[in-house]
Amino acid sequence: MNLSVPLGFISAVIVLWLASHGVPNLEILLSWHALVIVIGGTAAAALICFPLSHFYNLAMVFLRTFTGQAKAEMLRTIREIERISEALHSGQELSSEVSKVQNAFLRESLELLEQGGLTDDELDEVLEKRVELQNERYKRDSATFKTIGKFPPAFGLVGTSLGMIALLQGLGGANAFEQIGPAMSIALVATFYGLVLSNFLLIPVGENLNEASADDLLMRRVVMDGVMLIKERKHPLLVREYLKSYLAPADRNRIAAKKEKRT
């Protein structure tokens, strides 16, 4: 699991909890009116901007990064490419190995290689185009959260404006002066909700998806290079060492350790 994400959320809760100790009456922060305006308004604006199906894809991508599947998939993909290279080097057919591949992009690329009819340049061009388009989709997903992150502070100001309107309407009544302070604090709760939702959740999630986009792009580059090396029937040792160049030293050692266990 990617521990940085849950640790970040826990740290945010702790920060808010410690900061709220400066508020004499914490019950004032529990305003359903402000919550409805900020969350409901943000959800409504997001649905106007983006189709509903788009949010399902965003949830799946974020879940993959939250559980740490991106890095695990990179290592698994390199091992799969190495296994296929070893199988072909030992005389086995590519068709018998394609069905065993778990990575969808690798399996799709190998099926394209198996069909034949494409030169090295043509195959490289097709794979490059698919990598580029998928990366653009990931960037759009990241931009979606950043766009939605602009809405909560705005709807927080809407809630604050409504609270101020209600406050001003009450001026001139009985005990109006004593009610100004409590009424203004209630009005500002909506702005507080908006700032918290935007800066502690939506914008960080958007940055997280931006990192996921970079990781996915790197994994697809690994697949591209691996498929081209397989097409050229390069030695498995060259395939393994070439693809390990994409990894940090610690991850390279993990692959080497697993290789020793298998042997």
Summarised one tens digit per residue, pLDDT across range 81-134 is: 999 999 998 888 888 888 889 888 999 999 988 888 888 889 899 999 999 988
Say what the pLDDT of residue 221 is: 92
Q: What is the pLDDT at residue 38?
A: 92
Classify 98 as helix, strand or coil. helix
What is the model's pLDDT at position 125?
92
Amino acid making up residue 65:
T
Judged against a pLDDT cut of 60, whether residue 260 lies above it is answered with no
Evaluate if residue 178 carries a pLDDT over 70.
no
Min mean pLDDT across 9-18, 73-82, 180-189, 201-210 is at: 180-189
Is residue 135 pLDDT above 90, yes or no? no
Q: How many Å separate Cα 200 from the centre of its chain?
A: 15
Q: pTM of this prediction? A: 0.74
Q: What pLDDT does residue 262 have?
A: 57
Contacts made by residues 118-124, CB under 8 angstroms, sequence distance 24+? 120/228, 120/231, 120/232, 123/227, 123/228, 123/231, 124/224, 124/228
Question: Which pLDDT belongs to residue 129?
Answer: 93
Structure tokens at 105: 């992009």
Confidence category of residue 172, pLDDT binned at 50, 70, 90: low
3-state helix, strand, coil in the chain (%, to 5): 85, 0, 15
Residue 14, class by beta-carbon neighbours within 10 Å (0-12 exposed, 13-18 middle, 19+ buried)? Answer: exposed
For residue 68, is pLDDT > 80? Answer: no
Choice among 25-29, 77-81, 134-138, 208-212 with the minimum mean pLDDT: 25-29
- The mean per-residue pLDDT over the stretch 138-147 comes to 81
Residues 233-251 pLDDT 10s: 899 889 988 998 888 777 7
Q: Letter for the amino acid at 213? A: S
Bin 23: left if φ > 0, else alpha if -120 < ψ < 50, else beta.
Answer: beta
Q: State the residue for tokens 């305003």.
A: 31
Q: What are phi and psi of 233, to 5 degrees?
A: 60, 45
How high is the mean pLDDT of the chain? 83
Rounded average pLDDT over 194-210: 86
pLDDT of the residue at 168: 77
Give the residue extent of every domain in the chain. 30-62+90-232
